[in-house]
Amino acid sequence: KQEVTQIPAALSVPEGENLVLNCSFTDSAIYNLQWFRQDPGKGLTSLLLIQSSQREQTSGRLNASLDKSSGRSTLYIAASQPGDSATYLCAVGAAGNKLTFGGGTRVLVKP
């Protein structure tokens, strides 16, 4: 059974600092890996999807890497802003695009 872990559960940084969010998974036979953002009381917003054959994916200030062999993905957010405060969720995709989620990292960016 796939297990996905995100450590730390919470993170606080000053504005302007780069954010590094970690995700680890136990089974390397994945289809893809997706990063989401969730604001309090809201749904999930897809940030990036990395296919299993890719090593990284970039969108604006966001960059996500994938190392299947070690079961790890990292989401980098450059030059953090208070608007980046949210919970970030990592999810690993399997056949049928079924996702297994990590517990999330709650991020606070202080002005």
Residue count (the chain): 111
> Closest approach of Cβ 97 to other proteins, in Å?
5
Q: Which is nearer to other proteins, 69 or 97 (CB)?
A: 97
CB of 20 to other proteins, least distance (A): 21
Task: By CB under 8 A, name the binding residues for other proteins.
Answer: 31-32, 34, 36, 42-46, 49, 51-53, 89, 91, 93, 96-104
Bridge partner list, 38: 44, 87
Q: Which is nearer to other proteins, 42 or 110 (CB)?
A: 42
Calpha distance 66→39 (Å, rounded): 24
Closer residue to other proteins in complex, CB, 6/80: 6
Q: Shortest approach of other proteins to residue 13 CB, angstroms?
A: 23
Q: Alpha-carbon distance 5 to 104, whole Å?
A: 8
Would you call 94 helix, strand, or coil by DSSP?
coil
Separation CA 52–CA 86 (nearest Å): 26
Nearer to other proteins, 74 or 100 (CB): 100
- Span between the terminal Cα atoms of the chain, in Å: 41
